[in-house]
Amino acid sequence: MVALPPQYLDQYPRAKALLNRLKRRYDCKTASGARREQIFLEQVEQIIKGLEIAGSLVTQEHIVQIVGLSRQWLFLHPRVKARLQQFPLRQPAARRYRSCVSEKCY
């Protein structure tokens, strides 16, 4: 199957109907979309609490790995996106400088 951009699929009535149905299904403004967003938000909150209790660094990358969905998919939901953006994208790189052992650092 050849991948086509969605704007080309609008030319075909059956494809357009399917795309509209999917859009309504996953739209956060509909009742089912709002429920789905609430479920994702609760799941993200539980993961954050679990990581904090475990003493792990909470990052978007860790949360997404545990949820098992892509970051882009979660970002479709505004409240989930806002909550995820409160954390760094990934774990900071290891420090390049060695820490000072004695009082004097050179």
Please report the DSSP string for the chain in residue order. Answer: -----HHHHTTSHHHHHHHHHHHHHH-TTSHHHHHHHHHHHHHHHHHHHHHHHHT----HHHHHHHHTS-HHHHTTSHHHHHHHTTS-SSPPPPPSSPPPSSS---
pLDDT of residue 11: 81
Using a 10 angstrom Cβ sphere, with 0-12 exposed, 13-18 middle and 19 or more buried, the burial of residue 44 is buried
pTM: 0.58
Mean pLDDT, all residues of the chain: 79
41 — pLDDT class (breaks 50, 70, 90): very high
Let me know: does 87 contact 56? Beta carbons within 8 Å: no
Tokens of residue 56, six digits: 């792990």
Question: Is the pLDDT score of 42 beyond 50?
Answer: yes
33 — pLDDT class (breaks 50, 70, 90): confident
